[in-house]
């Protein structure tokens, strides 16, 4: 029960999926929809390419620099740690955060490479704020490849994305909300808005967990 006079905390809602599944489109749509309902909400995304680690990650993704696979994995995790305290503060102050990728992307992309398994990849994220809900936009790789700009960044290759999708399916728990991302944008947005309102209501009284 929320104690009267205290602010209900915000929800930490993370969107995941393979490249081009529609995360950016849907997180932006959701934030606009929630704002029009007067929900206190903010959009975040990982990697956050604006920070010190984010700039190196951006250059790596655009094929500008080469980095050891382990090192870049740790940078992606560090990029989340840079925001961890701000995330906790905002949630505690009642702001709901809609997040475009988070730790599951970190694990599923790195573990698609040679020599790094899921357990090794999960370790550096242990202790980060855990999402209240993961909304997984499920899309076949063949369909993702038909979408705009596929193939411009380092990881946007069919074989690699197929491994990433397998990893997501391996990590998926019963609590993930799986959305069929092949449908029209409006239909997906409508389903997600209902889902998000439900998540926001149900986690207001629950403590935030950690990974
Ligand atoms: N990564 C990330 C790691 O390796 N480790 C980590 O820890 C993290 C956090 C960059 C890369 O970093 C990797 C994963 C990625 O490879 P990013 O910045 O999120 O991550 O990647 P972006 O290139 O910005 O985004 P994506 O390629 O993942 O695309 P989105 O956001 O899923 O898709 P979106 O919304 O941009 O849509 C793509 C196209 O499809 C259309 C859109 O208009 C757009 O043209 N579209 C639809 N078309 C038809 N039907 C629909 N329902 C559609 N929805 C969108
Ligand atoms: Na995106």
Q: Is the ipTM of this complex over 0.95?
A: yes
6 falls within a domain: no
Ligand 1 near 25 CB (within 6 A):
yes
5 falls within a domain: no
Neighbours of ion ligand 2 (CB under 5 A): 24
185 falls within a domain: yes
Minimal-distance CA residue to ligand 1 atom 52: 185
Mean pLDDT of 36-48: 98
103 falls within a domain: yes
Say which DSSP state 191 is in.
H
Query: Domain tally for the chain?
Result: 1
Question: What's the CATH code of the domain at 23?
Answer: 3.40.50.300
Domain span including residue 138: 12-202
pLDDT in tens, 148-203: 888 889 999 999 999 999 999 999 999 999 999 999 999 999 999 999 999 999 99
187 falls within a domain: yes
Longest CA span, the chain:
53
Residues 6 or more apart whose Cβ sits within 8 Å of residue 91? 9, 10, 11, 12, 97, 129, 208
> What angle do helix axes 69-92 and 103-110 make, rounded to 10 degrees?
170
pLDDT of 151 reads 82
């Amino acid at each position: 029960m929320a104690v009267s006079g205290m602010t209900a905390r915000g929800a930490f809602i993370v969107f995941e999926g393979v490249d081009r599944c529609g995360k950016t489109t849907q997180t932006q749509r959701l934030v606009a929809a929630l704002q029009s309902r007067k929900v206190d909400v903010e959009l975040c995304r990982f990697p956050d390419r604006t920070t010190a680690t984010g700039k190196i990650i951006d250059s790596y993704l655009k094929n500008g620099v080469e980095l050891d696979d382990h090192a870049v994995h740790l940078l992606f995790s560090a990029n989340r740690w840079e925001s961890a305290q701000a995330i906790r503060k905002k949630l505690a102050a009642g702001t709901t955060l809609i997040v475009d990728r988070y730790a599951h992307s970190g694990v599923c992309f790195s573990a698609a490479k040679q020599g790094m398994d899921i357990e090794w990849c999960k370790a550096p994220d242990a202790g980060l704020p855990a999402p209240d809900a993961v909304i997984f936009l499920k899309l076949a790789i063949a369909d993702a490849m038909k979408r705009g700009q596929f193939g411009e960044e380092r990881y946007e290759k069919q074989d690699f994305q197929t491994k990433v999708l397998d990893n997501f399916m391996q990590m998926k728990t019963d609590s993930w909300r799986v959305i069929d991302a092949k449908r029209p944008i409006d239909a997906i947005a409508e389903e997600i808005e209902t889902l998000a309102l439900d998540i926001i209501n149900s986690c207001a009284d629950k403590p935030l967990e950690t990974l």
